[in-house]
Amino acid sequence: MLWITYGLCQNYPQLCALTEHTGLGVESNPMKFIFRIFGVVLVAFGVFAVAGVMATWEFDRPVSVLSARWAQAPSQFIEVDGMQVHVRDEGPRDDPMPIVLLHGTSASLHTWDGWAQSLSGQRRVIRFDLPAFGLTGPNPNNDYSIAAYVRFVGGVVDKLDVKQFVLAGNSLGGQIAWSTALAMPQRVNKLVLIDSAGYPFQSASVPIGFHIARLPGLRVLMEHVLPRGIVDSSVRNVYGDPSKVTPQLVDRYFELTLRAGNRKALAYRMDQRLSGDEASIKNLKMPTLIVWGAKDKLIPLDNAQRFAADIQGSKLVVFDALGHVPHEEDAKITVEAFKVFLGASQR
């Protein structure tokens, strides 16, 4: 403690005024001296705490600013349920069975870049930012229930005049996907669940950003303070091989988290959890592919096996080296499994 105090006195002489002397001379009353030193250290701690908050203070960023980087062509915005929804709709418009892709918590449509690049030359590929995330931002009613997300997906495909489609989703997007398939089985022709939520699970490790969003005191602070390191750690946590996480990838997650309203919306989403009727999963009848990363520390592999057991005729493909977002971590090998499932690598 003394070396800290000495350093503070050298750089911040005003702090040493609290001890009624300059430097660190010996007090005649040892206890009084100790209390004064403690006071100096306490003040120093406060100074450093305030400096830390100021250094990581991040204001919300408007869509108009973020769009220059994250909504380049072929992005568009369409109105659905009072929201301006960020959408990318690529590939031939005469595709009778478009592919709709749903991302997970704190992600965005960009997580599907590799899949879209591989598929859109032959198939119509539609992806969009879900409410609370990406450039779409908060639901005006703060309703992040699965039922609200299912209505939202229906609203988007209606707006795009899509009658039937193949539906794929990851994590939260997976639960929305199978819930949508149950709600409108006549429209969801095939289903793909990638490290999907749906059953109760015990995580081996949870991204720190999710922990913070669940804690009332800290999440209020997170609405104003967002150290980039928290985002970096959270993204690495969901990769099977954290070395694949690049600064550019962290930029995307970090900047889109700062979209106006997203941080508060994430807290609302966490409060509402992922409630759903897991028993109804057995009622899914359409062809279903289950894709899982064996190194998923958030939703363990035994959940994949439950999906496979409960969905009659489904196919399970496990990638041993991948984590919770296998479609993003290795788009090339995962999209090939998807193409095999479709049974039509070429139209």
Alpha-carbon distance 103 to 105, whole Å?
Answer: 7
45/236: higher pLDDT: 236
pLDDT at residue 134 greater than cutoff 80:
yes
Alpha-carbon distance 265 to 226, whole Å?
Answer: 15
Q: Is 104 helix (H, G, I), strand (E, B) or coil?
A: coil
Run of H or E including 152: helix 146-159
Alpha-carbon distance 182 to 145, whole Å?
Answer: 16
42/324: higher pLDDT: 324
Each residue of 209-221: b (16+ CB within 10 Å) or e? Answer: bbebbeeeeebee
Q: What number is the average pLDDT over the span 62-90?
A: 97
Chain-wide mean pLDDT for the chain?
85
Joined together, the tokens standing for residue 17 give 């005024």
| Per-residue pLDDT, 270 | 82
Q: What number is the average pLDDT over the span 49-63?
A: 62
Q: Model confidence at 50, in pLDDT bands (50, 70, 90)?
A: very low
Kindly report the number of other CB atoms within 10 A of residue 301's CB atom: 15
pLDDT at residue 308 greater than cutoff 80:
yes
Tell me the β-bridge partners of 75.
88
Distances (CA, A) of 138 to 1, 54, 108, 141, 268: 46, 26, 13, 8, 10
How far from chain centre, in Å, is Cα 104?
6
Find out whether 260 and 137 touch, Cβ atoms under 8 Å. yes
DSSP conformation class of 314 = -
Q: What is the pTM of this model?
A: 0.82
| Structure confidence by residue, pLDDT tens digits, 148-201 | 999 999 999 999 999 999 999 999 999 999 999 999 999 999 999 999 999 998
Each residue of 120-150: b (16+ CB within 10 Å) or e? Answer: beebbbbbbbbbbbbbbbbbeebbbebebbb
| Per-residue pLDDT, 35 | 60
Q: What number is the average pLDDT over the span 236-262?
A: 97
